[in-house]
Each structure stands twice: as C-alpha cells, then as structure tokens.
Amino acid sequence: MLSEMLPKLPPSERKIASYMLENPRESISLTASELGKRSSTSSAAVIRLCKSLDLKGLQELKLRIAGDLQKEPSNEIRDIEPNESKYSIIEKMTANSIQTLKETAELLSADELSKAIKVIEKAPTVHFFGVGASYISAEDAQQKFLRINKNATAFNDVHMAATSVANAKKHDVVVGISFSGNTYEVAKILELANKQGATTISLTKYGSSIVSEQADIRLYISATKEPTFRSGATSSRIAQLHAIDILFMCVASQQYEKAITSIDETREAIHFIQKSQSSRSRK
C-alpha cells in the first residue's frame, strides 16, 4: 500500500511513507509524534497519511506492517521469455495468480465489503460497467447475480451504460470496474449515478483514482504491476473476478435459501433448453 501510493502522496506524507518503507521494524514501535520527528514532518502529517491510505489510524498501519514483516518475501510478477518452455510458463502463471489472489484478499476491506453487501441486497437493480478487459468482469458479475434473481445489467458501451444509469432509482447500485482506476468513461458513469441518487461502488487497484473518488464504497484489489508482455493484465482480471466472486458469495450467503432456490430454478431452465435442443437434433 505504501509503495503503490508513494508517488501520489503530498510531500510531507511521502517523507513518512519513505521512512516507514526504509525502516519498517523500527516504525512499528514509534508513536505518531516520534514518526513525525524521524521523518522531519509532524504527527498531524502521520494522521493524514493514514487517511490517505484509507486506514482507521496509525495503529492499523503498524499492524499491517508487522504482519508483512512476518511473511516470506513475495516475488514480483514474472513475465514470459522468448521461446520459453510450456512447463515454465505454467509454473510462472500459476505463481502469479496465487500471488494476486493473496494480495487481493489482504486489500479487500471488511468494512467496505459489508457496506457493499448491504446495498446490493436492498437494490432493485445493480448496474455493472467496465471498459475493455474490465467488461469481462462486469459481464461475469451480471451473470452471477442474475442466477440468484437479482436484477443486474452489464454494459461496455458507454452510451448504453449512460442510458441505463440515467434511469437508475435511489436504491439502485452502480458498480464501476477499472483496474487502473483512471478509466475516464467509468468515472463519468459513476458521476452520473451519483447525480441520480444511486449508490456507487468502485472496484480498482489500491490507491486514490478518478474512479474511486466518485464511489460511495471503495473495493480495492491487488496493485500488481503489469510486465512487458502483460501477463500482469491476466493477473488484474483474476483479481477482479476474485473480488466479484467474494462479493457474490457474501450476498448469496445472506439470503441462502432464496439464493439456492433461484440457482436451482436457473439450472433447470438451462437443462430444459439443452434437452429441447437435443430432442430437435435427433429429429
């Protein structure tokens, strides 16, 4: 979190973040005042840094650093090489995916997730919007929530999304999906949703962005860097899908019996279609 946010922080907060990155073990034993002195800033700047990181306070930041110090060092996302063996690519991509899933699990805030679950439960309609590869995640979310009888839409065309969101009601939810968090179209759709009084949720990599700034509820995923050959792009999509799976399962769990009934009914509907096609083929 500190590494990802470092270039975006104001000068005083950047000094504190740099000091903590360079002296993590020492930092976890210092007070806000002591951290301010060591980094040539102030205790107020330390508190501002915690707010910039979307944390409750210095204690939470120190607990996260202490937790990271207990882990084995993680490897950077590894890209493929020219004429690399399929066995090596299998190993690399699997390791990349595992790392991405772990990082996403750590970055998903339980408090923000709880808020998202509550508003989606009550929402008459949930609108998902993403551009490019993020649309794949939006479409996956729509398919999942439709299966538990939650009215859901997914668009990658900004005009269609705007038309749909323009008719959003007060308790509807609009979810903007953008790995970078800087997709202009996604930010504008969330802005439009805010004007309509709908609840907005962002799903982006960790850090402040034009998309997350428009959201009432912010869900963050792994901020894994994308290598030259963009195997990281695969990781970012996996992170989005993982977060959506978690959100979906949480909502389904809260209305378990109703969700099971809906899933059984949708399964029967698909079976009915397949059975009809099979009968027609035999004729």
Are both 115 and 223 inside the same structural domain?
A: yes
Please compute the mean of the pLDDT values over residues 246-252 and round it to a whole number: 96
CATH code assigned at 44: 1.10.10.10
User: What pLDDT, in 10s, does the model give residues 212-222?
Assistant: 999 999 999 98
In a domain, 76, yes or no: no
What is d(CA 50, CA 52) in angstroms, rounded to the nearest whole number?
A: 5
In a domain, 96, yes or no: no
Question: What is the per-residue pLDDT for 232?
Answer: 46
Among 5-14, 185-194, 246-255, the range scoring the smallest mean pLDDT is 5-14
Are both 137 and 214 inside the same structural domain?
A: yes
Q: How many CB atoms lie within 10 A of CB 268?
A: 10
Q: How far apart are the first and last CA of the chain?
A: 61
Alpha helical stretches, state H, the chain: 2-5, 11-22, 24-27, 32-38, 43-52, 58-69, 86-107, 110-122, 133-147, 158-166, 184-195, 231-254, 256-282
| Confidence (pTM) | 0.79
CATH code assigned at 225: 3.40.50.10490
Please compute the mean of the pLDDT values over residues 244-266 and round it to a whole number: 92
Phi, psi at 153, each rounded to 5°: -125, 160
In a domain, 93, yes or no: no
Question: What is the per-residue pLDDT for 282?
Answer: 62
User: What pLDDT, in 10s, does the model give residues 117-145?
Assistant: 999 999 999 999 999 889 999 999 999 99
Count of domains in the chain?
Answer: 2
pLDDT category at 278 given cuts 50, 70, 90 is: low
What is d(CA 240, CA 128) in angstroms, rounded to the nearest whole number?
A: 12
Domain termination residue (choose one: 19, 50, 70): 70
Q: Which residue do the tokens 């607990």 mark?
A: 63
Question: For residue 259, what are its two tokens?
Answer: 């969700």
3-state secondary structure of 141: helix
Are both 187 and 121 inside the same structural domain?
A: yes
Are both 249 and 167 inside the same structural domain?
A: yes
Question: What is the per-residue pLDDT for 190?
Answer: 97
**If you average pLDDT over every residue of the chain, what do you get?**
88
Are both 55 and 109 inside the same structural domain?
A: no
Concatenating the DSSP letter of every residue in 76-121 gives PPPPP-TT--HHHHHHHHHHHHHHHHHHHHHHS-HHHHHHHHHHHH
**Whole domain around residue 249: which residue ranges?**
102-269
What is d(CA 115, CA 60) in angstroms, rounded to the nearest whole number?
A: 20
Question: What is the per-residue pLDDT for 183?
Answer: 94
Are both 129 and 216 inside the same structural domain?
A: yes
Q: Which residues contact 101 (CB under 8 A, 6 or more apart)?
A: 222, 238, 239, 242
